[in-house]
Structure 1
Amino acid sequence: MNQLYSGMPAARLDGVVWRKSHFSNPSGNCVEVAELPDGRVAMRNSRDPEGPALIYTRGEVDAFVRGAKSGDFDDLII
């Protein structure tokens, strides 16, 4: 695998397993995540699987998930 960087094409992340939430809808409006070999986490738009992947540390993902669980982003829900 080449050097990993945020915004790289998701298609270049060979061998990773992408998954999405069971809350995702059938029309494909979801975010997919994949664990990278170095422990970081990649995220991509499921409607653009070859598009950019954002790369986050475990700590960054932990902070986001904790915030989502505690309601910090509830104002963004339609």
Structure 2
Amino acid sequence: MTMEYPTGYLTALDAMNRHVNSARPDAPVQTERARRALLAPTRQATAVALRRLADRIQPRPLPTAPRCS
């Protein structure tokens, strides 16, 4: 079966080698870059707007009737 599809065999072999070699202690390491938060101001403005809206539509407690003691 593998002789009929040599490209598949080579691809599988390459994937297996990458998988096995990635767990080695001396494997090459790519540092992760800190990404700039592009939507942070938009998220902050949306959170403030939703909080203000929630404060406006939140039901207020009923006034308590004066009790005779």
Q: Report TM bin, short chain.
A: under 0.3
Instruction: Report 1 or 2 for greater relative contact order, CA contacts < 8 Å, sequence distance ≥ 6.
Output: 1
TM-score in terms of structure 2 length: 0.27
Larger Rg: 2
Relative to its length, the structure with more strand (as a share) is 1
Instruction: Report the TM-score, using the length of structure 1 for normalisation.
Output: 0.24
Q: Structure 1 or 2: larger helix share?
A: 2
